[in-house]
Amino acid sequence: METVLKVDNLTKIYSGPEGEKIKALNDISFEVPRGMIFGLLGPNGAGKTTTIKSICGLVQPDAGSISVMGRDVRRQRARALTQLAAVLEGNRNIYWRLTPRENLEFFAAIRGRRPGSVKKEISQLLQVFGLEEKAREPVRKLSRGMQQKLALAVTLITGAPILLLDEPTLGLDVTASYEIRGLLRRIVQEEQRTIIISTHDMNVVQDICQQVVIINEGRIVAHDSIQHLMDLFQVRSYDLAVGKLTSEQRQSLEKLPHLQLVPINSGWQISLDLENPTLLWQALDILGQEQTAIESISRKELNFEKVFIEILGGGQA
């Protein structure tokens, strides 16, 4: 599979307020294949933003290299960055005094695309993103969802094969977020473009990303496919709602590993992480001693947010 972005041994050191050296990036390396939605993740202060700005040529790293479509960002900056379009910090890549159509015309022009050659493409983008009726409305009057869609459309009109999107669903309602996700999948499937997405919304990551890099304290702590990471941390977890327990039953249950016992209403909730499948049978045997009623049994599904927190060592995302 062709590599469209290569980050090799990237290091960046900043000076702190008292002159101390802060290593924002510590020997970061990863590759992004063509035609993929790739997640670049990390908690605040992990080095994610420095990585993104280095890829975009906005930050000069102290060591290492970045190549975009085979072009070195440091030595061939102009040629490399023509292969990349970015939406940084929400939708700030659009002009609010202009209309959606004027924004698309303007950003096509600064990429050297002639007005006549993009006229049809602009109309198609306005249609695809549901912006036809608002095409001549100033952007400042559009909803947040429409502004986000226009920001994505602006990246597409540049013709760049690589799109770097920072929090593309930030502040959107559920419906708009799902629409954006669908559009991103469509862009990759139909146009074979590559999307690098940075977000704190783990539902978005789990839904659309195929591979992720997770950065923490300036280092890569995970680089794998979403599915493989989910499989690595997959533990079958169950919640049992049961009736009254004797003190002997409670003591016996509390001795079982990976089990939590919480009072609910007139009974108890038993939560089990089954690293050892025999734990469920042991818990059921204890309940059977007094023929305790089992009101319900439900299996808890693992989500990527839990995987993310586990990778970070239990810290907050």
Residues 34, 4 contacting (CB under 8 angstroms):
yes
pLDDT tens digits, 186-222: 989 998 999 999 988 898 999 999 999 999 999 999 9
Does 285 have pLDDT greater than 50?
A: yes
Q: List CB contacts of 185: < 8 A, sequence separation 6 or more.
A: 37, 208
The whole-chain average pLDDT of the chain stands at 90
What single DSSP character describes residue 58? Answer: S
Confidence of residue 315 (pLDDT cuts 50, 70, 90): very low
pLDDT tens digits, 14-72: 988 888 888 999 999 999 999 999 999 999 889 998 999 999 999 999 999 999 999 99
Does 235 have pLDDT greater than 90?
A: no
Q: What is the pLDDT, as a whole number, of residue 183?
A: 87
> Which residue's entry shows tokens 């306005």?
126
CATH code for the part of the protein at 3-231: 3.40.50.300
Q: What is the pLDDT, as a whole number, of residue 92?
A: 66
What CATH number matches the domain at 235-301, 1.10.1840.10, 1.10.357.10, 3.30.70.1150, 3.20.20.140? Answer: 3.30.70.1150
C-alpha 207/C-alpha 304 separation (Å) is 9
Q: What is the pLDDT, as a whole number, of residue 280?
A: 85
> Which residue's entry shows tokens 């919480």?
262
pLDDT tens digits, 87-111: 886 556 799 999 999 999 999 999 9
Dmax (CA) for the chain in angstroms is 82
Lateral strand order in the sheet of 84-87 = 84-87, 162-166, 194-198, 37-41, 211-216, 219-225
The secondary structure of 63-103 as a DSSP string is EEEEEETTEETTTSHHHHHTTEEEE-TTTTTS-TTS-HHHH
pTM above 0.85, yes or no: no
273 SS3 class: strand
Q: List CB contacts of 27: < 8 A, sequence separation 6 or more.
A: 9, 10, 11, 64, 219
Q: What is the pLDDT, as a whole number, of residue 192?
A: 92
**Phi, psi of 84, rounded to the nearest 5 degrees:** -130, 140
Question: Which of 61-65, 136-140, 233-237 is the least confident region?
Answer: 233-237
Residues 115, 146 contacting (CB under 8 angstroms):
no
What mean pLDDT is predicted for residues 108-130? 91
Does 77 have pLDDT greater than 80?
A: yes
Q: What is the pLDDT, as a whole number, of residue 168?
A: 85
Q: What is the pLDDT, as a whole number, of residue 180?
A: 86
109 SS3 class: helix
Distances (CA, A) of 106 to 79, 94, 113, 122: 20, 10, 10, 11
What mean pLDDT is predicted for residues 165-180? 84
Top pLDDT among 277 and 181 is at 181
Beta bridge partners of 264: 267
Q: List CB contacts of 218: < 8 A, sequence separation 6 or more.
A: 23, 24, 25, 26, 28, 46, 47
Q: What is the pLDDT, as a whole number, of residue 47?
A: 92
Q: What is the pLDDT, as a whole number, of residue 197?
A: 95
What mean pLDDT is predicted for residues 221-249? 89
Q: What is the pLDDT, as a whole number, of residue 289?
A: 94
b/e code 207-233 from CB counts within 10 Å (16+ = b):
bbbebbbbbbebebebeeebeebbeee
Rg (CA), the chain: 25
**Phi, psi of 250, rounded to the nearest 5 degrees:** -60, -45
C-alpha 65/C-alpha 58 separation (Å) is 14
Residues 47, 221 contacting (CB under 8 angstroms):
no
Q: What is the pLDDT, as a whole number, of residue 169?
A: 83
Confidence of residue 314 (pLDDT cuts 50, 70, 90): low
Residue spans per domain, the chain: 3-231, 235-301
